[in-house]
Amino acid sequence: MLGTELAWSNPASVRYTQVQLIPANNDSPGVDLILGPVNRFAVPAPPGWYGMLPDMTYSWRVRLTASLLEPSIESATWGPWVQTNFRTPAIAASVVSGASPAEGSTVGSRTPTLTWASSRPDLYYYEVQLSKDGSFNTDPQTRLRRCTTHSFTARSQAP
């Protein structure tokens, strides 16, 4: 599943905790929360939250304060950040398959609808590649031609 639980230790005097979850390259939603004196945070998997991608590195960090009043983000009462990293699991290509058009079929349009299926309900991000050959040529001069057979694949890996 594409969720996780973040956990840390708090001294007894902690009143507020700030938790941040930061994706590599900041290319998907992150988390930035000020919470009470908690020592864990569950990052929900889809469909609860569509924020984490497979095979991706994330940084998360926590800072604490004993302030009696809820502090602003800029408050000098916050302690230093404590940071660590983790990587979400890779997803095997075998869990995604092309549904239509069928392998080797001919379509009557230059703008066919491509569909795929996945055995993983928590997958929500796909890269779709279209090519006239199974090697998925990316050369813009030769990749898509009229009146030719094209192959497609869908995969659920992070960019």
| Range 81-91 average pLDDT | 91
State the CB neighbour count (10 A cutoff) for residue 19. 19
pLDDT recorded at residue 158: 44
Q: Residue 144 has what pLDDT? A: 58
Domains contained in the chain, CATH given = 4-87 (2.60.40.10), 91-159 (no CATH)
pLDDT averaged over the chain? Answer: 82
The helix (H) or strand (E) run that includes residue 58 is: strand 57-65
- The pTM is what? 0.67
The predicted-structure confidence for 109-142, as pLDDT tens digits, reads as follows: 888 888 888 888 777 777 777 766 677 766 766 6
pLDDT of residue 129: 73
Q: Residue 36 pLDDT more than 70?
A: yes
Q: What is the pLDDT of residue 67?
A: 96
Return all residues near 126 (Cβ < 8 A) that are at least 6 apart.
96, 116, 154, 155, 156
Is it the case that residue 159 has pLDDT exceeding 50?
A: no
pLDDT digits (tens, 9 = 90+) for 145-156: 555 555 555 555
Asked if residue 84 has pLDDT above 60, the reply is yes
List C-alpha distances in Å: 41 to 61, 82, 96, 116, 137. 11, 15, 30, 34, 43
